[in-house]
Structure 1
Amino acid sequence: MATVLSVSASPSATSRTARLLRHLDARLTAQGHHVIPLDVRTLPAEALLGADLDHPEVVRAAELFAQADGVVVGTPVYKAAYSGLLKALLDVLPQEALGGKTVLPLATGGSTAHVLAVDYALRPVLSSMGALHILPGWFVLDRHITVRGDGSTAVEPGTDATLGRLVDQFSAALRPTAPLAAVG
């Protein structure tokens, strides 16, 4: 099927955002997609903040975006916007890094006061980077993502059902369509 880049833009090693993405990655993998996880926090800060476009890890990240058919972007919301870590990554990528791609934006946060960050902060930058199709984004409250005793991730059932429908829509949007017949 398609190659999906799953980008976690949380600076935290114990990130609920990353846990949520890996939970959704499993669903995409079960649907036959090849999912590549990218935790932005593992990229060298000096390369991101210094806009070192030739740094091997920045080059590798840009290549991952180029190879992907679709991108799932997950970010925690801080101060009513996506993470600075995501901003630093997006700033070093080529302007059309999302050109022709289907994108699913997701955000996590502690309060519903940040729910509009997906549409008013994240969506415009994704659009400016050439995304072909940006699905409706979704905001998930931190308290709806928990860690089970065995270390696995649990998502509140209602939230999980909604996310399942979004992932299914994303998956369907990744399927190639038949070429249009010539008119004429």
Structure 2
Amino acid sequence: MAKVIIITGAPNDYSRLNGILDYSIKLLKKTGISYDVIKVHELPAEDLIQAKFDSEAIRKANKKVENAAGVLIFTPVYKAAYSGIVKTYLDLLPQKGLEDKIILPLVIGGSFGHLLTIEYALNPVLSALGATYIIKGVYTIDKDVERLDNNQFSLKEEVQQRIEKGIDAFIKVISD
């Protein structure tokens, strides 16, 4: 099966974005699709902020993206745009780093007022990086992801269904 790379712009391991991430990984595991995760907040901050393209950590992350058939991009919305954490990493991908990749954005925000962040902020950057096949993104409101004990999360049924629909469409395309 095709290899998938997950790029997550959660600011930490306690973000509600991780509830969406965990659920998506569960769906990938069911299909047997292999995946790897790049947690951008775990990459060296100095390398990201100072745009150290030659950093070993950045080169390793970029190699994972290069070898993947599909990319899941997870980001929270801050100030009507995807997170700066995601942007700092995307800036370090090669100019055509997403060429020939199937992309699915999964975004969490405080209200549906930021729903267009995917279409008007994130997708243009993904396109500039060479992405030509971007699956319709999945937008979730943070109140629909409940934080439980032990860094676990519960997603409303409607959210689960929308994520399943997005992941199913993604898997169908990368499996063809």
Q: How high is the TM-score relative to the length of structure 2?
A: 0.95
- Aligned position for 1:143: 143
Q: Secondary structure at the match of 2:25?
A: helix
Given that 1:102 and 1:134 are in contact with CA atoms closer than 8 Å, whether structure 2 keeps it comes out as yes
The one-letter amino acid paired with 2:89 is L
Question: 1 CA distance for matches of 2:151 and 2:85?
Answer: 25
- Aligned position for 1:171: 171
- Aligned position for 2:89: 89
After superposition, the C-alpha distances for 1:33-77 in whole angstroms (9 at most, x for unaligned) are 001111100001110111111111000110010011100001000
Question: 1 CA distance for matches of 2:70 and 2:55?
Answer: 24
- Aligned position for 1:44: 44
Matched-pair identity in %: 35
Given that 1:18 and 1:39 are in contact with CA atoms closer than 8 Å, whether structure 2 keeps it comes out as no
- Aligned position for 1:113: 113
1:132 Cα deviation (Å)? 3.1
Question: 1 CA distance for matches of 2:149 and 2:69?
Answer: 35
1:151 Cα deviation (Å)? 4.3
- Aligned position for 1:54: 54
The one-letter amino acid paired with 2:166 is L
Q: Which runs of 5+ in 2 are unaligned?
A: none
Query: Size of the alignment, in residue pairs?
Result: 176
The one-letter amino acid paired with 2:173 is A
Alignment of 1:59-70 (within 5 A): 59-70=59-70
Question: 2 CA distance for matches of 1:19 and 1:160?
Answer: 10
After superposition, the C-alpha distances for 1:99-140 in whole angstroms (9 at most, x for unaligned) are 100000111011111111011100111111111310011210
Question: 1 CA distance for matches of 2:17 and 2:45?
Answer: 19
Question: 1 CA distance for matches of 2:138 and 2:41?
Answer: 22
Given that 1:145 and 1:155 are in contact with CA atoms closer than 8 Å, whether structure 2 keeps it comes out as yes
Q: Which runs of 5+ in 1 are unaligned?
A: 177-184
Question: 2 CA distance for matches of 1:47 and 1:133?
Answer: 29
> Cα RMSD over matched residues?
1.2
Question: 2 CA distance for matches of 1:18 and 1:99?
Answer: 26
Structure ranking higher on relative contact order (CA contacts 8 Å, 6+ apart): 2
Question: 2 CA distance for matches of 1:74 and 1:165?
Answer: 16
